[in-house]
Amino acid sequence: MKKQRMIKMGAISYAKMIRLMLEGEYSCEELADLTGLHYVTVLQYTRELHRARAAHISEWRKDRLDRDNVRIYKIGYSFDMPRVRMSGAERQRRYKVRKKAEAV
């Protein structure tokens, strides 16, 4: 009789996540959608990969408020892409432009 091999679904999904990260650059939300893992689980995996220097932040994407908040991870050791930060004056200027557009 052939012995059955037991594989946990998390291990399969984790392997799929690593394969995707080797092939391209994805955000945690995209990785969660593609692998079927929960978003928080993907966050934990990518943070640990980053902490172990097995992955790096290759780019930052803008969120709905036009801030560099969405990390894009790539497998491999390299330097992280720095975030672009706005000065207080620039942030206030954008806020006033947005409020003026809403008033019209």
Residue from 24, 36, 11, 12 nearest 73 by CA? 24
> Cα(94)–Cα(103) distance, rounded to whole angstroms?
14
Which residues, including other chains, have CB under 8 Å from residue 50's CB and lie 6 or more apart? 56, 57, 73
pLDDT digits (tens, 9 = 90+) for 79-99: 888 888 878 898 899 889 989
pTM: 0.70
Enumerate the H helices of 1-104 as residue ranges: 9-23, 28-35, 39-51, 88-103
In this structure, what token pair is assigned to residue 61? 């994407």
pLDDT digits (tens, 9 = 90+) for 45-79: 999 999 999 999 989 988 887 778 889 999 988 88
Distance CA(33)–CA(94), nearest Å, equals 33
For the chain, domains (ranges, CATH) are 9-103 (1.10.10.10)
